[in-house]
Amino acid sequence: MTENPTRGHRPNGSAGAALARARVLPPWSLLAAGAVLGGLLGGAYGVLKPPTYTATSYVVAVPTEQSDPAAALGFAQAYGRVATQLAVLGDAQVWAGVPVKTLQQSVSTATSPDAPMVSISATSSRPDLAADMANAVSRALTRHANDAKADTNVELEQFARATKPTQASSASPTVTGLVGASAGGLLGGLVLLVRPRRTADAARPASVPSPATAADVRGQM
Q: Supply the CATH number for residue 69's domain.
A: 3.30.70
pLDDT at 4 over 80: no
Tally of domains in the chain: 1
Question: Is 182 contained in some domain?
Answer: no
DSSP-derived letter for residue 49 is S
Q: Does residue 19 belong to any structural domain of this protein?
A: no
Q: Is residue 141 part of a domain?
A: yes
Q: Model pTM?
A: 0.60
pLDDT per position as a tens digit, 105-160:
999 999 998 999 999 999 998 999 999 999 999 999 999 999 988 888 999 999 99
Is residue 20 over pLDDT 70? no
**Is residue 198 predicted with pLDDT exceeding 50?**
no
The enclosing H or E element of 64 equals none
Where are the alpha helices (H) located in the chain, listed in sequence order? 13-24, 28-48, 69-82, 86-96, 100-106, 127-147, 149-152, 173-203, 211-220
Residue 26 lies in a domain: no
Using the predicted structure, report yes or no on whether residue 195 has a pLDDT greater than 80: no
Share of the chain above pLDDT 90, in %: 41
The pLDDT mean for the chain works out to 77
Tell me whether strands 107-111 and 53-63 are parallel, antiparallel or unpaired.
unpaired
Residue 165 domain-assigned? no
Domain that holds residue 85: 53-160
Q: Which residues are paired to 63 by β-bridges?
A: 154
pLDDT, position 177: 62
Is 168 a residue whose pLDDT tops 60? yes
Q: What is the percentage of the chain residues whose pLDDT exceeds 70?
A: 58
Residues linked to residue 121 through DSSP beta bridges, in sequence order: 56, 108
Residue 152 counted as domain residue: yes
Confidence of residue 88 (pLDDT cuts 50, 70, 90): very high
